[in-house]
Structure 1
Amino acid sequence: MPSSATLHFSDRVAIVTGAGSGIGHATTVALAEAGARVLGVGRRKEALEQTARAHSNIEILPLDICAEGAAATVVTAAVERWGRLDLLVNNAGVTAVMPLAETDRSVITNLFELNVTAPSLLAHAALPHLRKSSGSIVNVSSTYGHRPMPGGAHYAATKSAMEQLTRSWALELAPEGIRVNAVAPGPTKTDVLAAAGLPDHTVDEMYTFERERIPTGRLGDPREVADWILRIADPRGTHVTGQVLTVDGGLELI
């Protein structure tokens, strides 16, 4: 696989949500290293500042993308700063371990608000600018967007929704020259489980369980997921749209 530096993002402008850690951090840095000017968005200012220190092409915007008017604020910030928008990476998301017997309305609402509604509003706000640039949207799904997840059905449902949005938007926007794809990571070593409020020992147990099921015998690395996001967003890939690329070490085959 070529490194991000060999890809053609020079003078392109990208927005990456959830840029303070994990896959979002890795994607923001990789895009900047590939020549893009990147607006990294997230709720944690200190984490975003750490991302920004990785490359001079990165600007940050601490913000809750679920807040009223957030989508317009994010897109306006990028366009006012650099005059255009070429790529939206909808990476921010949250997970939840919630068996049916423990169903909580607020958890369901929060999952769909961050994982489905906010990315939809960001895509809507970005659309006029992506039309001008023949740009691209990459949604970050999950291997559990297309395979069952006992004890986490509602999280899986949000990712399944994102995959269907990806396919439908791809068909809708192809005549306008806008590509829409998704990357679906499997279990990846990030802080998403800890951010969901799970204690460290539970996180370790879950990672061990997942690692033992993955055919390649290891968890994913955020940097390799970022590499695939860049590959599918590469402006030269004008004939690739509506795809969901799974990066999970073969887990979806089981």
Structure 2
Amino acid sequence: MTTRTEGTDSEDRPGAGAARGIVITGGGTGIGQATARAFAARGDRVLVVGRTGETLDATAEGHPGIQGLVADVTGPDAPERIVETALGLLGRIDVLVNNAAAMGYRPLAALDRAEAERQLHTNLLAPVLLTRAALDSLAERSGTVVNIGSSGALGLRSWPDNGLYGAAKAGLDFLTRTWAVELAPRGIRVVGLAPGVTDVSAGQGPDETDPAYADFLKGIAARTPGGRVGRPEEMAWWIVQLTRPEAAYANGTVVPVDGGLSLT
């Protein structure tokens, strides 16, 4: 487990409210990394979960409110371990962000069982089991669950060669709506964000200069009414806003943030 020593706690800063406890899966890169830093910047304490200690260290660098846990969300003991670690380090869980994801482009005819299980477990089963494990802790804080879906899986759209990923994300959106109703009596809100294509290459190594990735982003930008792809920091802003007290009346909604691409 990677850790960061707390500096001045947000509760000790003049005018600051109590620091919330935030758990983010897939917190070592991209949207998860940006979201962890956005929560930490507002004084919350964050546990980021990921499979690689180096990326978690990079997320936490310069952000004393962030600590990391090396764990595979698909592991049999992962849900309980993540919740126990969060309570031990943060003392509470106010927000759970189910962000970890696994994608693999291939048509149905080329999809083997191992790949199907990898995608379904990471994208759908892991959020189910982790959210279940965190229910009591979330209920104590009238907490919020944020499920990260995909605008590519909204509505009646198809996604050739990426059907399993899209199906899992559509399933996660359905769980967002269902859990919002199921868990409301316990004071837990459940909301979703459906990001469009987001440029996660900055600081991630080879992809930064990968011509194929750059061409992919350029092609998506040309198809998007907004004329560009998204940035991780933009998605992070929406995730933080959905968990604020002022958003308390939003429940069961999935917010698309994709420059209008899903409307075309």
- Provide TM-score, normalisation by structure 2: 0.88
SS in 1 for 2:233: helix
SS in 2 for 1:40: strand
Alignment of 1:26-65 (within 5 A): 26-65=34-73
- Provide TM-score, normalisation by structure 1: 0.91
Contact 1:140 1:182 in 2 (8 A): yes
Partner of residue 203, structure 1 = 213
SS in 1 for 2:97: strand
Partner of residue 173, structure 2 = 163
Alignment of 1:27-176 (within 5 A): 27-146=35-154, 147-176=157-186
Further displaced range: 102-111 or 220-229: 102-111
Q: Return closer, same or farther for 1:202/1:97 CA change in 2, 3 Å cut-off.
A: farther
Deviations 1:37-68 (A, max 9, x none): 10011011001001111311111101111111
After TM superposition, give the deviation of residue 11 of structure 1 in Å.
Answer: 1.2
Deviations 1:140-192 (A, max 9, x none): 0001221321221111001001100100000101121110000000000015x
After TM superposition, give the deviation of residue 203 of structure 1 in Å.
Answer: 2.6
After TM superposition, give the deviation of residue 10 of structure 1 in Å.
Answer: 4.1
Letter in 2 for 1:82: L
Partner of residue 245, structure 1 = 255
Contact 1:9 1:234 in 2 (8 A): no
Further displaced range: 119-128 or 101-110: 101-110
Letter in 1 for 2:213: V
After TM superposition, give the deviation of residue 9 of structure 1 in Å.
Answer: 7.1
Further displaced range: 203-212 or 93-102: 203-212
SS in 1 for 2:145: strand
SS in 2 for 1:184: strand
In structure 1, list runs of 5 or more residues that go unmatched: 1-7
Partner of residue 3, structure 1 = none
Contact 1:10 1:34 in 2 (8 A): no
After TM superposition, give the deviation of residue 100 of structure 1 in Å.
Answer: 2.4
After TM superposition, give the deviation of residue 84 of structure 1 in Å.
Answer: 1.3
Letter in 2 for 1:53: E
After TM superposition, give the deviation of residue 201 of structure 1 in Å.
Answer: 4.0
Further displaced range: 231-240 or 28-37: 231-240
**Of the candidates 177, 186, 194, which is equivalent to residue 187 of structure 2?**
177
Letter in 1 for 2:153: G
Which protein is bigger by CA-based radius of gyration?
2
Contact 1:9 1:34 in 2 (8 A): no
Question: Structure 1 residue runs of 4+, over 3 Å off?
Answer: 199-202
Contact 2:46 2:90 in 1 (8 A): no
SS in 1 for 2:177: helix
Letter in 1 for 2:191: N
Letter in 2 for 1:80: G
- Aligned pair count reads 244
Output the CA distance in 1 between the equivalents of 2:162 and 2:222. Answer: 19
Partner of residue 186, structure 1 = 196
Partner of residue 4, structure 1 = none
Contact 1:86 1:130 in 2 (8 A): yes
Output the CA distance in 2 between the equivalents of 1:173 and 1:54. Answer: 36
After TM superposition, give the deviation of residue 101 of structure 1 in Å.
Answer: 3.0
Alignment of 1:20-31 (within 5 A): 20-31=28-39
Output the CA distance in 1 between the equivalents of 2:17 and 2:166. Answer: 32
Output the CA distance in 1 between the equivalents of 2:117 and 2:215. Answer: 27
Letter in 2 for 1:60: G
Deviations 1:13-42 (A, max 9, x none): 010111111000000000011111100110
Q: Return closer, same or farther for 1:27/1:179 CA change in 2, 3 Å cut-off.
A: same
